[in-house]
Amino acid sequence: MSKKSMAAARVLSQNLLAEGIYDLWLETPIAQDACPGQFVGVYPTNKSTLLPRPISICEVDKERSAIRLVYRVVGSGTAEFALYQPEDYIKILGVLGNGFPLEAAAGKKVVVMGGGIGVPPLLETAKRLAAAETAVKPVKVSAVMGYRNSETFLSEEFAKYADMFTATEDGSIGTKGNVIDAMREQNIEADVIFACGPMPMLRAIKNYAQEKGIKAYLSLEERMACGVGACLGCICKTTKVDHHSHVNNARICTDGPVFDADDLDM
Amino acid sequence: MSKKSMAAARVLSQNLLAEGIYDLWLETPIAQDACPGQFVGVYPTNKSTLLPRPISICEVDKERSAIRLVYRVVGSGTAEFALYQPEDYIKILGVLGNGFPLEAAAGKKVVVMGGGIGVPPLLETAKRLAAAETAVKPVKVSAVMGYRNSETFLSEEFAKYADMFTATEDGSIGTKGNVIDAMREQNIEADVIFACGPMPMLRAIKNYAQEKGIKAYLSLEERMACGVGACLGCICKTTKVDHHSHVNNARICTDGPVFDADDLDM
Amino acid sequence: MNTSVEIAGVKFKNPVMTASGTFGSGMEYADFVDLNKLGAVVTKGVANVPWPGNPTPRVTEVYGGMLNAIGLQNPGVEVFANRDLKFLKDYDTKVIVNVCGKSVEDYLEVVERLGDEERVDMLEINVSCPNVKEGAIAFGQKSAALYDITSRIKEVAKQPIIMKLSPNVTSIAEMAKAAEAAGADAISLINTITGMKIDIHKRKFALANKTGGLSGPAIKPVAVRMVYEAAHAVNIPIIGMGGIANAEDAIEFIMAGATAIAVGAMNFHDPYTTEKVVEGIEEYMTRYGVQDINELRGIVE
Amino acid sequence: MNTSVEIAGVKFKNPVMTASGTFGSGMEYADFVDLNKLGAVVTKGVANVPWPGNPTPRVTEVYGGMLNAIGLQNPGVEVFANRDLKFLKDYDTKVIVNVCGKSVEDYLEVVERLGDEERVDMLEINVSCPNVKEGAIAFGQKSAALYDITSRIKEVAKQPIIMKLSPNVTSIAEMAKAAEAAGADAISLINTITGMKIDIHKRKFALANKTGGLSGPAIKPVAVRMVYEAAHAVNIPIIGMGGIANAEDAIEFIMAGATAIAVGAMNFHDPYTTEKVVEGIEEYMTRYGVQDINELRGIVE
Ligand SMILES: Cc1cc2nc3c(=O)[nH]c(=O)nc-3n(C[C@H](O)[C@H](O)[C@H](O)COP(=O)(O)OP(=O)(O)OC[C@H]3O[C@@H](n4cnc5c(N)ncnc54)[C@H](O)[C@@H]3O)c2cc1C
Ligand SMILES: Cc1cc2nc3c(=O)[nH]c(=O)nc-3n(C[C@H](O)[C@H](O)[C@H](O)COP(=O)(O)OP(=O)(O)OC[C@H]3O[C@@H](n4cnc5c(N)ncnc54)[C@H](O)[C@@H]3O)c2cc1C
Ligand SMILES: Cc1cc2nc3c(=O)[nH]c(=O)nc-3n(C[C@H](O)[C@H](O)[C@H](O)COP(=O)(O)O)c2cc1C
Ligand SMILES: Cc1cc2nc3c(=O)[nH]c(=O)nc-3n(C[C@H](O)[C@H](O)[C@H](O)COP(=O)(O)O)c2cc1C
Ligand code: FES
Ligand code: FES
């Protein structure tokens, strides 16, 4: 595993992707080691808020030594991030977490599934799966992304790397309903699922995967303080006693955020 | 007295005057009512520091509806102020305090005296005294400014409105010593003194004025919270029972910052 | 939409008050705020005779707040009644007078003197000022002493009594219960938390008094917790305060169990805070379709 | 220049420690900080058996700090000794193990188990965690109970004992005296202050546990005051903590009377904080010509 650091990152660009959803490219050495499913902690400069905000890595550009973050404005930290301009410097902590086990998709039909602000980390995932060397290449990469309404984002980019399917809650685009509804409606085949999104969606995926005998890897969210495994703030319940905690708790920031669905007690 | 307000002010310009001393022009309606010796509260945007910083009005330009602040960087608030650029907006509270009683100099020889970062408020004072209408005009305006070393500031501007004398602690410019040393060395005559500076200097002026039968008005400094007379944080000891407090305390922010030296127990 | 609340038979047009000592008698903030819009003006503490307070520096800034050691400077109840209460006559808001003293007799004297002042709707008894040695230790941090002074004040008071509690205690619930048992009509909390700041360059205390009371956003989580604990310990109404900066903070206190709330140190950060809180509460109620502010009280269990 | 300090015969190369629970066992911060540069690593609290801790959310941010209700999740002393202590063997720093329990017997079991572990230089007894009902109320907030548990631990402990005090008390001096009288070799303070946050939009507590411990810069003035009060009440050394973010803060605690200091929540804001504090203290000493850090202790009277 690469060494974690906290360092300044340079803003390369920032764009609005959809209502309240921003697309931020940062230049940082972290890019060299970043894997899909990992995340960084972004520090607000407002001194009343001191904790880093966990934001997933959406895309990596090793040539420019840059990472892409796609985030939704929900509170004071993300509202501040939305103001950043090219050439600004911000502090980030990373690279954090384990990332998706891409090798588990070797020779398999893999579906990446995202819901809402869980969509972004699947983009680099799809990209790497599509670009994998022959020995570890999946036989097929599909993407199923769920949104609230027609304010979708990143869809066209997924289409570059995967068979792309969309579900919207209001039915304005693609399947009306959630990602599982799309799976069923479109008869999308899967041996392995990589997913990120809200807890109810992840629960539904776990059940669906169990029912169909699919291997599922789920990326979880929890309130974090340290981001590096020290504070024990961000745990999830596990079915087995965890190797680190010796209780049925794993640290999402360090042992996750991606877990084998079978190991999760959700 | 004009109504106090807290409002955004627009930065017009900012320049470095001397080492660590900045010159900031702000556009604000407060300019219309601001008198020399009054001050404003400047709010840092850094949310860990919430109280306004009291800064004296150094000059007023009614035509541009602008005030000038000259301040020394000493802590987190002033360090932040030094970063402001033209077109930035900052929040200020004002106009605060009573100001120098210019009318007390009518037909008199008046000396404005400043020490260190107490120099700035005397500039507008000298300017208004020099520009006073005949009926209330002083017969002579002198200025005696004390600095640590050759890093003086505003000297040339004082020379426009007053006979200008300088004292420096290290003797590099003008009289070696303090403003009182300069008064004695240069035989500067005074009926009235308006002064602002560190407490030891003000004490020396009070004694000097008593000795020579000069009327002195001194502008004081104290830690402030509200700036508007509510918190009772910023009091000074008075010789008589104060009209407001009914004890021997006056509020520097509201009853001052300028006091008749005879009323002060210092 | 109803924003009015009632405490001991006194009806406030809304739950927003000023925290004692941070708003003078309203006079100093009249340039900024329409006092008629406030639920109540709570005045600076007043004693039987004028008090000079502590030496300066009396205030200093800290992360997310401030320390103060004013030491309850006040002009005495006589001047207060003739000047400050007179000033407040012209305003359509309730008036709560904060009372301080060094002995039980001091308090009783002020309470009796104000008994016939019509402009006084309630009395808030400050037994919790950390900056006056006598007041704090004797009355505000021991439940037996709190019980005693409360019941003696209740014997002579003509207006309803709010006991203002100190957060510098092991159990706020115990103190709240003592006040209630002794007949207090309401309690208010929290007063400031005792703190200290040292200037490491000058090697001196930042305050002449060495210690001072911490207030501002820094203390809000402690204040919310204590309001919640007190609300679960007693049945009398609670006025909550400690770091309130906006309507969201105010509603947090109400959801924790406060009937009314007060804005303190944040008046210094933004002199319009009280009025903005009044407006913000109404906006919140509109947004979530809350008909009556009283529905929100203690809603988070 | 001498930056080393001594506590109960244990010599620390400098006064900078990590606050228990904010630094794991050092492992998690080894990417950022050279542990060899620290005065001591103070580990997360460990109990006789594994504890699962509280449900999530366990942490939430507040103005200038955070609330936590981890609930002392830990793998139990056996795993701790075989993994965490083993990891620390390779480092040239002192190791202080923080001990937690639900009954006196729990504590004694851990203290005895660690008695022969060479890598353990001192034990810090956490009787003040606000997030575990049993631990806090029973031992940390009543001086008689504190006296009792301290003396019982002292009977069996082979390493020197630090009692970690709760700030949620009326008199920190009284608690410090009880610990000293019972034979504690040192005290550390402050643990977190109990706080609460309510999400007014979701109408829910921000923490599953309802209340949590407040830490970070917001509590620093309270912590400095308590260290000062404790230093004037007892003669045993004090380890000060609460909101330390930089060397200036650290020196403030030392001037208030602390022999050593610990960095807690601010590790989360800047993982390099501890090392920066070590360097900053040296810079301060150089700037002011301080030969020995021990000269600064309690210098502000
Ligand atoms: C592993 C991980 C990856 C994430 N990836 C993304 C992403 O790619 N894009 C994106 O938009 N969001 C992502 N999130 C959620 C994101 O962290 C929060 O939306 C963000 O922290 C909100 O910060 P704020 O200051 O705007 O909100 P506030 O509500 O003001 O934040 C207050 C505190 O709560 C924390 N917090 C608030 N919401 C969340 C949340 N949902 N999860 C964790 N902590 C939260 C904040 O970090 C902060 O400490 C991710 C969360 C995790 C745990
Ligand atoms: C009436 C008045 C007029 C002033 N006019 C000027 C001026 O024209 N130019 C100028 O450079 N300075 C002036 N000062 C001093 C100026 O207020 C302080 O230097 C400034 O507040 C420091 O803020 P800071 O955040 O940089 O320092 P910090 O030390 O970080 O400030 C911390 C707190 O202490 C207060 N504080 C620190 N130093 C002083 C001080 N000397 N007086 C009062 N409060 C202080 C701050 O306002 C703040 O609340 C004046 C002070 C007063 C009372
Ligand atoms: C400058 C100042 C003066 C105060 N004076 C009094 C007082 O006279 N009587 C009193 O009961 N409380 C007094 N307080 C305490 C406040 O009323 C309030 O309880 C406390 O500051 C917490 O609220 P806040 O964080 O909103 O300021 C004072 C607080 C400050 C900051
Ligand atoms: C996430 C977290 C976990 C903590 N766990 C422990 C613990 O296990 N044992 C203990 O004695 N103190 C624990 N504490 C308290 C800290 O050691 C420290 O006393 C407190 O946080 C104040 O310091 P700070 O403001 O620098 O964080 C914990 C604090 C935090 C923030
Ligand atoms: S955030 Fe601290 S352990 Fe995960
Ligand atoms: S600063 Fe509040 S009274 Fe002067």
Question: Does the distance separating the beta carbons of D31 and A234 come in below 8 Å?
Answer: no
* Chain A residues within an 8 Å CB radius of C65: none
D299 lies within 8 A of chain C by CB? yes
Task: Measure A91 CA to nearest chain C CA, in Å.
Answer: 21
What is the CA angle A115-A119-A125, rounded to 5?
Answer: 130
Among D46, D111, D129, D241, which one carries the catalytic annotation?
Answer: D129
Q: Ligand 3 mean position to C219 CA, how many Å?
A: 12
The answer to whether residue C82 scores a pLDDT higher than 90 is yes
Q: Measure the CA–CA gap between B64 and B28, rounded to whole angstroms.
A: 9
Q: Measure the CA–CA gap between C30 and C33, rounded to whole angstroms.
A: 5
Q: Measure the CA–CA gap between C84 and C74, rounded to whole angstroms.
A: 11
| D36 burial via Cβ count (<10 Å: 0-12, 13-18, 19+) | exposed
Q: Which atom of ligand 3 is nearest to the CA of C128?
A: 11
* Fold classified for B5-96: Elongation Factor Tu (Ef-tu); domain 3 (2.40.30)
Q: Measure the CA–CA gap between B151 and B18, rounded to whole angstroms.
A: 6
Active site members of C: 129
Chain C residue nearest residue B242, CA to CA: C75
Place of tokens 């974090």: A224
Helix axes D273-288, D247-256, angle to 10 degrees: 70
Q: Measure the CA–CA gap between B125 and B109, rounded to whole angstroms.
A: 14
Centroid of chain to Cα D31: 22
* Chain D residues within an 8 Å CB radius of A5: 31-32
Single out the residue of D33, D32, D41 nearest to residue D13, CA to CA: D41
Contacts of D184 (CB under 8 A, 6+ apart): D150, D154, D161, D162, D163, D236
Q: Measure the CA–CA gap between A102 and B122, rounded to whole angstroms.
A: 72
The answer to whether residue A256 scores a pLDDT higher than 60 is yes
Question: Does the distance separating the beta carbons of D256 and C221 come in below 8 Å?
Answer: no
- The pLDDT value recorded for residue C132 is 61
Q: Is C242 in the pocket of ligand 3 (CB under 6 A)?
A: yes
Nearest residue (CA) to ligand 3, atom 21: C215
Place of tokens 């639920």: C39
Give the closest of C67, C203, C220 to D299, CB-based. C203
Gyration radius from chain A CA atoms: 18
Report the predicted TM-score, pTM, of the whole model to 2 decimal places: 0.97
* Chain B residues within an 8 Å CB radius of A49: 47
Test mutation, B46, B47, B48, chain D, max D CBs within 10 A: B48
The percentage of residues in chain A with a pLDDT greater than 90, rounded to a whole number, is 95
Residue A21 and residue A68 in contact, taking contact as beta carbons nearer than 8 Å: no
- The pLDDT value recorded for residue A21 is 96
Q: Is A51 in the pocket of ligand 5 (CB under 6 A)?
A: no
Bond into A95 cis (ω within 30) = yes
Q: Is B36 in the pocket of ligand 2 (CB under 6 A)?
A: no
What token pair was written down for B132? 């006073």
Question: Does the distance separating the beta carbons of A234 and D59 come in below 8 Å?
Answer: yes
Residue D122 and residue D162 in contact, taking contact as beta carbons nearer than 8 Å: yes
List A residues 42-81 in contact with C (Cβ-Cβ < 8 A). 47-48
C211 lies within 8 A of chain D by CB? yes
What are the pLDDT digits (tens) for A8-22? 999 999 999 999 999
Q: Is B68 in the pocket of ligand 2 (CB under 6 A)?
A: no
Which residues have any ligand 1 atom within 6 Å of their CB?
Answer: A 39, 51, 53-56, 70-72, 74-78, 117, 120, 221-224, 257; D 61
Give the closest of D196, D221, D255 to C221, CB-based. D196
B46 lies within 8 A of chain A by CB? yes
Q: Ligand 6 mean position to B233 CA, how many Å?
A: 5
The answer to whether residue D131 scores a pLDDT higher than 70 is no
Q: Is A41 in the pocket of ligand 5 (CB under 6 A)?
A: no
Average pLDDT over residues A60-89: 97
Residue A215 and residue A192 in contact, taking contact as beta carbons nearer than 8 Å: yes
The answer to whether residue C105 scores a pLDDT higher than 70 is yes
The answer to whether residue C131 scores a pLDDT higher than 70 is no
- The pLDDT value recorded for residue D139 is 79
- Which parts of C205-297 fold into alpha helices (H)? 220-231, 247-256, 266-269, 273-287
**CATH of the domain spanning B102-220, picked from 3.90.740.10, 2.130.10.10, 3.30.70.60, 3.40.50.80:** 3.40.50.80
What residues are paired with B164 via a beta bridge?
B143
Mean pLDDT of chain D: 95
* Chain A residues within an 8 Å CB radius of B43: none
The percentage of residues in chain D with a pLDDT greater than 70, rounded to a whole number, is 97
> How confident is residue D130, by pLDDT bands cut at 50, 70 and 90?
low
- The pLDDT value recorded for residue D132 is 61
Nearest residue (CA) to ligand 1, atom 14: A55
- The pLDDT value recorded for residue C139 is 79
What's the half-sphere exposure (Cβ side, CA atoms, 13 Å) at C90?
A: 10
Place of tokens 């102020």: B81
Q: What number does CATH give the domain B222-266?
A: 2.10.240.10
Ligand lying nearest the CA atom of residue A154:
1
Contacts of A8 (CB under 8 A, 6+ apart): A89, A90, A91
From residue A142, alpha-carbon distances to A81, A114, A149, A163 in Å are: 32, 12, 21, 4
Place of tokens 């506590």: D7
Decide: helix, strand or coil at residue C87.
Answer: helix
- Identify the H or E element spanning D285: helix D273-288
Q: Is B253 in the pocket of ligand 2 (CB under 6 A)?
A: no
- The pLDDT value recorded for residue D140 is 80
End-to-end CA distance of chain D: 24
What is the CA angle A120-A121-A125, rounded to 5?
Answer: 120
The full DSSP string for B134-175 is: GGG--SEEEEEEEESSS---SHHHHHHHSEEEEEETTSSSSE
Q: Ligand 1 mean position to A55 CA, how many Å?
A: 7
- Which parts of chain A fold into alpha helices (H)? 76-81, 121-131, 155-161, 179-185, 199-212
- The pLDDT value recorded for residue B2 is 74
Please report, as a single letter, which amino acid is at residue D56: T
Mean pLDDT of chain C: 95
- Identify the H or E element spanning A258: strand A258-260
| Three-class secondary structure assignment of A145-175 | EEECCCCCCCHHHHHHHCEEEEEECCCCCCE
What residues are paired with D12 via a beta bridge?
D5
Q: Ligand 5 mean position to D245 CA, how many Å?
A: 19
What are the pLDDT digits (tens) for A76-95? 999 999 999 999 999 999 99
Contacts of D57 (CB under 8 A, 6+ apart): A222, A223, D206, D207, D208
What token pair was written down for C293? 């502010």
Q: Measure the CA–CA gap between A62 and D115, rounded to whole angstroms.
A: 51
Bond into C263 cis (ω within 30) = no
Q: Which atom of ligand 5 is nearest to the CA of D268?
A: 2
Task: Measure C1 CA to nearest chain A CA, in Å.
Answer: 28
The answer to whether residue A102 scores a pLDDT higher than 60 is yes
The domain locations on chain A are 5-96, 102-220, 222-266
The answer to whether residue A143 scores a pLDDT higher than 70 is yes
Question: Does the distance separating the beta carbons of B254 and C53 come in below 8 Å?
Answer: no
Q: Measure the CA–CA gap between A226 and A232, rounded to whole angstroms.
A: 8
> How confident is residue B134, by pLDDT bands cut at 50, 70 and 90?
confident
Residue C63 and residue C218 in contact, taking contact as beta carbons nearer than 8 Å: yes
Task: Measure D91 CA to nearest chain B CA, in Å.
Answer: 36
Q: What is the ipTM metric for this complex?
A: 0.96
- The pLDDT value recorded for residue B105 is 96
Q: Ligand 6 mean position to C151 CA, how many Å?
A: 35
Question: Does the distance separating the beta carbons of C299 and D218 come in below 8 Å?
Answer: no
Q: Measure the CA–CA gap between C242 and C193, rounded to whole angstroms.
A: 10
Q: E strands of C80-232, at which residues?
A: 94-99, 122-126, 161-164, 186-189, 193-196, 198-199, 204-205, 211-215
D217 lies within 8 A of chain B by CB? yes
The answer to whether residue D141 scores a pLDDT higher than 70 is yes
- The pLDDT value recorded for residue D301 is 85
Question: Does the distance separating the beta carbons of C62 and D221 come in below 8 Å?
Answer: yes
- The pLDDT value recorded for residue D134 is 55
- The pLDDT value recorded for residue B20 is 95
The answer to whether residue C138 scores a pLDDT higher than 90 is no
Q: Is D43 in the pocket of ligand 4 (CB under 6 A)?
A: no
The answer to whether residue C141 scores a pLDDT higher than 90 is no
Q: Measure the CA–CA gap between C147 and C154, rounded to whole angstroms.
A: 11
Give the closest of C32, C76, C268 to B225, CB-based. C268
Q: Which atom of ligand 6 is nearest to the CA of B224?
A: 1
What token pair was written down for D225? 């005051």
